Structure 1
């Protein structure tokens, strides 16, 4: 499936998410790529929009490979398997986590300013990203939403790696993924 841009991806996701509109959802976009997609979803569902800030924890010397993620409120998701295979030590984990925590706080202030987060207590929450590779960041975002009291967590993405989508399917209440291309 091809998307012309993030707005097109958001429109197609909104069409798939339309049944959730009646549950008065909150739409949360993962900065940066997920926010324009989430904007269209929120617009189409008539839902409030906020950001949910999480940071990938990258393997030292290969930061594009995530061994986990952290989120607002102290949420932490670690893949022991990736840590083991990449030979990431506990000391490496601690150093990467310290740096990413500082960046997470900086970004939360930059994206939200002084405005408080929208309350998720008892709400249906739709977390939107522009795509998923490993799923660590998306999973951390879902756990942040749960920790903030979300009653139902739907993860919505236009595209995801098939193995990541399969892993996430059992960890969220609902996964809406429009495409899982194989290479």
Structure 2
């Protein structure tokens, strides 16, 4: 199965897949940080507005990289009940981690967006990330966007784990759906950390 050279190439491939649809006042929301370079390519091709929505992963105790849930700056956390059950965890046990990640989401939202109001009502919203593993951060972001009454909501990613796609009620568009997913980085030749400066530059 093919790989992407980098996030820009992945974004162009995704944009080509999305371009044949008639979008109504489209807005492309990148998930910072890695989803933003992908989202920029999509927004450019669709001639759409580009913005961000920040969702932060709530990691398992002792394993912060393993997401059991996610939260945005101003909405309730979304947890994966299967993972909570498997790890014998409760939402209460994760409340401090959740609060910390919510604060970080608020800080990053202010950094990237300032205090500009969101205008998503009655628009076609395309949420973009660089890949979909467990999908927990995307789910929190989608939950947040849905509260803003969009006309339609689409999750678009260059590569996705097959198991995760089936857990979404939202329409998911993915280029690669590998049988053996591994990790998002596995499907890119170059997968550098995206910086805050790169996000801000993309949003200019």
Task: Verify same fold: TM over 0.5.
Answer: yes
What is the aligned length? 179
Distance (whole Å) between structure 1 residues aligned to residue 117 and residue 41 of structure 2: 19
Matched residue, 2:174: 177
Does the Cα contact within 8 Å between 2:161 and 2:177 map onto a contact in 1?
A: yes
How far did 1:150 drift?
1.1
Runs of 4+ in 1 over 6 A off after TM superposition: none
Indicate the structure whose relative CO is greater, using CA pairs within 8 Å and at least 6 residues apart.
2
Give the structure-2-normalised TM-score: 0.83
How far did 1:96 drift?
1.1
Structure 1 unaligned blocks of 5 or more: none
Distance (whole Å) between structure 1 residues aligned to residue 121 and residue 76 of structure 2: 17
Note if 1:121 corresponds to 2:121: yes
How far did 1:157 drift?
0.1
Distance (whole Å) between structure 2 residues aligned to residue 117 and residue 39 of structure 1: 20
Structure 2 unaligned blocks of 5 or more: 181-204
> Pairwise mapping of residues 57-76 of structure 1 onto structure 2 (< 5 A)?
57-76=58-77
Distance (whole Å) between structure 1 residues aligned to residue 64 and residue 88 of structure 2: 13
Distance (whole Å) between structure 1 residues aligned to residue 76 and residue 102 of structure 2: 11
SS for the counterpart of 2:110 is: helix
How far did 1:89 drift?
3.2
Give the structure-1-normalised TM-score: 0.92
Matched residue, 2:146: 146
Matched residue, 1:108: 109
Matched residue, 1:54: 55
Matched residue, 2:156: 156
- RMSD across aligned positions (CA): 1.4
